[in-house]
Amino acid sequence: MNETELILAIESSCDETSVAVVENGEKILSNIVASQINSHKRFGGVVPEVASRHHVEQITICIEEALTEAAVEAKDLQAVAVTYGPGLVGALLIGLSAAKAFAWANGLPLLPINHMAGHIYAARLVEPLEFPLMALLVSGGHTELVYMEQDGSFEIIGETRDDAAGEAYDKVGRVLGLSYPSGKEIDELAHQGEDTYDFPRAMIKEDNFDFSFSGLKSAFINLTHNAEQRGEVLEHKNLAASFQASVVEVLVTKTVKACKTYPVKQLIVAGGVAANRGLREEMARVLSQELPATKLIVPPLRLCGDNAAMIGAAAHVELQKQHFAGMTLNADPSLAFQHI
């Protein structure tokens, strides 16, 4: 194998078509992301059929752009990596088909990558990972605490029992009349308001590392609905601040408790909700107070959302282990890590 390892990575699990070229699992040579947010905004969420059609239109353009920007050709590559789950089955299949075709046409091995592993490995594009480590994965569909004893080993020690944190943000955003996706707007409003409504902190004292955000979402909806019926006007900034305070306190408390129970060298906060400023600030503050020896790594905003560079970073480990897939590789929309 060449000294320089180049992987072409493809990500199409939801509503971003992305292709990247990653060198040695840590250096981004290109990371093309075609977002579909404007197409889904009017529906207030991702429409699978619309997402799949967009992926079909964008995928070959993104592959060409990624190779051009990285200034590499197919013959320079060592492998093709692709997200095969979890995600929307139709969307995943477009990326899989493109990856298989490219790998087959160019005689390259195919690496199957778990989308959530990609989110964790986005941290490797920031700095080298040191094990054992803990990862808090917070995205639209997932809220999980993942313990990693070594490269490529993922064990769920806690997860949400109902809504993921990102889902709760989107549902609350809809009630507040914000456009989809509403996480960024809620975060901005929260920084201008105060926690005056004191929403519940579900499961915060329970002796486990699981989460629950369904009760918080219901409490929020009931409060706003009752106020509406009485003709009361609630302060949106304070509503956002109160909602976010509850989410952040639960996430931070449970995560820090997990890092004390499983002594780790690093804590990675990854996924779409990792872009939340309130969560970043509070996690950094509490961790530095309670576990100053544990290093916090949060990927930059451009690597928190779905992107192919993180898939390329995760693929580096799979290539070392020679975890290749055949051309029969299929999408696994509910692919999951193992539970401890």
Q: How far is CA 104 from CA 57, 79, 80, 313, 328, in A?
A: 21, 11, 10, 22, 12
Number of residues assigned to the chain: 340
Residue 111 counted as an annotated binding residue: no
The verdict on whether residue 115 carries a ligand-binding annotation is yes
Picking from 318, 238, 251, 305, the residue whose alpha carbon sits closest to that of residue 281 is 251
- Residue pair 73/102 in contact (Cβ under 8 Å)? The answer is no
Other CB atoms within 10 A of residue 56 CB: 15
Tell me: is residue 138 an annotated ligand-binding position: yes
187 labeled part of a ligand binding site: yes
Is 207 marked within a binding site? no
141 is in an annotated binding site: yes
The answer to the question of whether 166 is labelled as a binding residue is: no
What is the spatial distance between Cα 111 and Cα 29, in angstroms, rounded to a whole number? 19
- Annotated binding residue at 276? yes
Tell whether residue 163 is among the known ligand binding residues: no
Task: Report helix angle 214-229 to 165-175, nearest 10.
Answer: 10
> Of the candidates 214, 114, 204, which has an alpha carbon nearest to the alpha carbon of residue 165?
214
**140 annotated to a ligand binding site:** yes
Binding residues for substrate are 137-141, 170, 183, 187, 276
Binding residues for Fe cation are 115, 119, 306
Binding residues are 115, 119, 137-141, 170, 183, 187, 276, 306
